[in-house]
């Protein structure tokens, strides 16, 4: 209960416009439950997003539209979003704005001004710490979605939904802490786990001929371990956020000098969360080969979701402006989890490996 109170207190201080706080094991499931109480029928998603989100919306009985990503920023272009909304009744629309991998979407204030009847869901799952023109998230959105397990190491569950108006969401019992989650908090066990991960199979090509994303809701209250570790993270949030952003800035500077790599741009006047540094490589083959080789050397990067909405037949007609930008990102993007590279030695090894990746 003490951890629960600490988290609630921190959230109420940082998100004063969103006094209603709901906890769950899955952010997508929290949205599913919330959307069932919404009469709005259309949801607009970025095309560069986990396919479980549009799958959830379809299961909730909503219509879905996807807007393609700008491969320079990870976000839909503001002009495309406004054009889409101009052809629909905003009071019947929900739009999910994802600060993708902690890179802030800068157009929320303009979106709210132009479409005051719109329901805006601000997805901060990987973006706790984002600053938009000096402001914390939540100023212009109706709902804010946070992830606990994507922010901290160890737990595999935990999400928070913040809303301006109350919702009749059902409470669920705590999920138990698994042996794997306990083990992830023990340094020596994590070391041996990382050694084992070096030998796992590389990045496989995605399957073809997929009909529909496989998604079912997950219910429960975050585990005690998740709550404790998230509360501890929030207690040291300011210090850690500054440190992560400093390291992220250093990585961007050094990556920018490596041939064949292109860093994702941060919008002017915005500060990324610093949880990830994202960059594009020449092509899928170069990206997957490099990440597999880095993995064998104990340097764990990720390539983002293995599948996007564009991979599913049921969603084929939902892309208003195509999906060329999202496909480019799907083929070329890589992400550095900053929390794995807090050590200067590991950062130096990573940059050296990327510079010499043809000979890894």
Q: Does residue 265 carry a pLDDT above 80? A: yes
Mean pLDDT of 183-187: 65
**Regarding the domain delimited by 237-304+331-359, which CATH topology (the fold level of the hierarchy) does it fall under?**
3.90.1150
**In three state form, how does the secondary structure of the chain look?**
CHHHHHHHHHHHHHCCCCCEEEEECCHHHHHHHHHCCCCCCEEEEECCCCCHHHHHHHHCCCEEEEECECCCCCCECHHHHHHHHHCCCHHHEEEEEECHHHCCCCCHHHHHHHCCCCEEEEECCCCCCCEECCECCCCCCCEEEEECCCCCCCCCCCEEEEECCCCCCCCCCECCCCHHHHHHCCHHHHHHHHHHHHCCCCCCCCCCCECCCCCCCCCCECCHHHHHHHHHHHHCHHHHHHHHHHHHHHHHHHHCCCCCCEECCCCCCEECCCCEEEEECCCHHHHHHHHHHHHHCCCCCECCCCCCHHHEHHHHHHECCCCHHHHHHHHHEEEEEHHHHCCHHHHHHHHHHHHCHHHC
Segment 94-148, tens digit of pLDDT = 999 999 999 999 999 999 999 999 999 999 999 998 999 888 899 999 999 999 9
Comparing 47 with 135, which gets the higher pLDDT? 47
- Over residues 227-238, the pLDDT tens digits come to 999 999 999 999
Average of pLDDT values for 150-164?
85
Of 60-69, 207-216, 314-323, 329-338, the least confident: 207-216
Whether the pLDDT of residue 256 is over 50: the answer is yes
Query: What ranges do the domains of the chain cover?
Result: 2-165+178-232, 237-304+331-359
The reported pLDDT for the residue numbered 198 is 59
In the chain, % of residues over pLDDT 70:
92
CATH topology of domain 2-165+178-232: 3.40.640
Average pLDDT, the chain: 91
pLDDT at 360: 47
Confidence check: pLDDT of 196 > 70: no
pTM to 2 decimal places = 0.93
- pLDDT of 134 reads 85
pLDDT digits (tens, 9 = 90+) for 326-350: 999 999 999 999 999 999 999 999 9
pLDDT value at 192 more than 70: no
């Amino acid at each position: 209960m003490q951890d629960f109170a600490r988290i609630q207190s921190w959230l109420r201080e940082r998100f004063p416009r969103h006094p209603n706080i709901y906890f769950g094991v899955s952010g997508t499931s929290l949205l599913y439950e919330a959307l069932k109480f919404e009469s709005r029928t259309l949801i607009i998603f970025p095309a560069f997003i986990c396919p479980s989100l549009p799958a959830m919306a379809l299961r909730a009985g909503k219509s879905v539209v996807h807007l393609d990503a700008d491969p320079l920023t990870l976000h839909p272009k503001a002009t495309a979003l406004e054009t889409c909304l101009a052809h629909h009744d905003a009071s019947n629309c929900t739009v999910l704005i994802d600060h993708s991998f902690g890179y802030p979407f800068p157009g929320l204030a303009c979106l709210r001004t132009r479409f005051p009847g719109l329901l805006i869901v601000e997805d901060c799952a990987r973006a706790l710490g984002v600053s938009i023109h000096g402001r914390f998230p939540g100023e212009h959105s109706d709902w804010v979605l946070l992830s606990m397990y994507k922010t901290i190491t160890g737990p595999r569950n935990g999400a928070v939904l913040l809303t301006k108006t109350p919702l009749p969401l059902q409470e669920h019992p705590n999920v138990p802490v698994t042996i794997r989650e306990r083990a992830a908090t023990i340094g020596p066990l994590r070391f041996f786990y990382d050694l084992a991960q070096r030998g796992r199979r590389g990045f496989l090509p995605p399957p073809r001929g997929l009909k529909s994303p496989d998604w079912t809701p997950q219910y429960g209250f975050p585990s005690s371990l998740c709550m404790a570790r998230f509360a501890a993270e929030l207690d040291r949030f300011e210090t850690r956020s500054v440190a992560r952003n400093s390291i992220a800035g250093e990585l961007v500077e050094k990556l920018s000098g490596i041939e064949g790599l292109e860093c994702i741009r941060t919008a002017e006047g915005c500060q990324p969360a610093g949880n990830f540094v994202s960059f594009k490589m020449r092509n899928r083959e170069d990206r997957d080969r490099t990440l597999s080789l880095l993995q064998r050397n104990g340097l764990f990067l990720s390539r983002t979701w293995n599948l996007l909405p564009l991979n599913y037949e049921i969603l084929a007609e939902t892309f208003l402006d195509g999906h060329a930008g999202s496909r480019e990102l799907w083929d070329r993007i890589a992400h550095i989890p900053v929390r794995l590279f807090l050590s200067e030695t590991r950062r130096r090894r990573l940059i050296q490996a990327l510079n010499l990746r043809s000979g890894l």
